[in-house]
Amino acid sequence: KMYEHFIGDLMGDVRIFPAVIFYVIYVIGVTFFVLIPGTEKGSIGYVILAGALFGLICYATYDLTNLATLKDWPVAMTVIDLVWGTAVTTVTSVIVYFINMNFFGGGS
């Protein structure tokens, strides 16, 4: 809904294939840069920090590039999206970390 509100006139039909490719790459990134090191360290603090940073970097790549290159790209949408990407990646990383540590033996 947020995208429709801010940039509805720019939106086309959703193309599922590129979205699936992005999320496959994104999950690989979270696993490689956040979950594996966090599990090896046994550190929820690492998972929180790395998850937040990874989410911010991924969402910033999209939003700040659009802000820099597209006419009338809304600053408010960029800020909301950066907060969302940071939060959702952090929370998801923590949930997966806890599942791994408690049900699959964690780093042992």
Predicted confidence at residue 5, as pLDDT, reads: 80
Predicted confidence at residue 108, as pLDDT, reads: 58
The answer as to whether 108 is a domain residue is no
Q: What is the pLDDT of residues 38-68, one digit of tens each?
A: 999 999 999 999 999 999 999 999 999 999 9
Q: How many other β-carbons are positioned within 10 Å of the β-carbon of residue 30?
A: 21
Give the range among 4-8, 58-62, 101-105 with minimum mean pLDDT.
4-8
* Domain ranges, residue 42: 2-103
Tally the domains of the chain.
1
The answer as to whether 31 is a domain residue is yes
* Nearest residue to 33 via CA among 49, 57, 56, 54: 54
The answer as to whether 53 is a domain residue is yes
